[in-house]
Amino acid sequence: MSDLSLTILPETADDALAIERLHERTFGPGRYAKTAYRIREGASHRLDLSFTARIGTLLVGSVRLTPIRIGAAPALLLGPLTVEPPFRERGIGAALIARALADAKTRGHRLVMLVGDEPYYGKCGFKPVPKGQVTMPGPVDPARLLVCELAEGAFAGVAGPIRPDWDAA
């Protein structure tokens, strides 16, 4: 990435089609059956907490954050995270996550959840949720349910079902 450098920008309404195509190429129609999708269906992601990665003007990656509640506690659900295959393994995924977490923290958010691979997200500060502490509205491999505390101790005492936060979307 010599003269065409990477930029991470907040998502805008104009990005919707390019991101939808990226998700279709990456996850296919099976994405609609995922439990995390059920939550995202119930509340829109926040454009100001969702980011695109660009090389020049080309959109090469995206991450979205959606407001949720865990029991009564407000939190954010991270995902989907996607990077175009030719641009993977260059730190773009990590840069998208870092920017999303930093901006969420700046705005006073305290918890981010996701369903994903611990070996990958563990490097970005996510830890497995103790089994049974939270429940999703559908089947999820418990080992893939991860949480990142943006404030120390933010996950202590938080438990219950995860649902979309309609009021914060």
Ligand X SMILES: CC(C)(COP(=O)(O)OP(=O)(O)OC[C@H]1O[C@@H](n2cnc3c(N)ncnc32)[C@H](O)[C@@H]1OP(=O)(O)O)[C@@H](O)C(=O)NCCC(=O)NCCS
Give which of 73, 165, 71 is closest to 111, Cα–Cα: 73
Q: How far apart are CA 77 and CA 69, in angstroms?
A: 9
Residue 62 sits in the site that holds ligand X (CB under 6 A): no
Q: Are 111 and 13 in contact (CB under 8 A)?
A: no
Residue 67 sits in the site that holds ligand X (CB under 6 A): no
Residue 82 sits in the site that holds ligand X (CB under 6 A): yes
| Contact window for ligand X (CB under 6 A) among 7-15, 67-75, 87-95, 135-143 | 87-95
Q: Are 148 and 126 in contact (CB under 8 A)?
A: yes
DSSP-derived 3-state class of residue 17? helix
Residue 141 sits in the site that holds ligand X (CB under 6 A): no
Residue 91 sits in the site that holds ligand X (CB under 6 A): yes
| Contact window for ligand X (CB under 6 A) among 44-52, 98-106, 115-123, 125-133 | 115-123
Q: What is the DSSP letter of 141?
A: -
Residue nearer to ligand X on the CB measure, 116 or 164:
116
Binding site for ligand X (CB under 6 A): 26, 81-83, 88-94, 116-117, 119-120
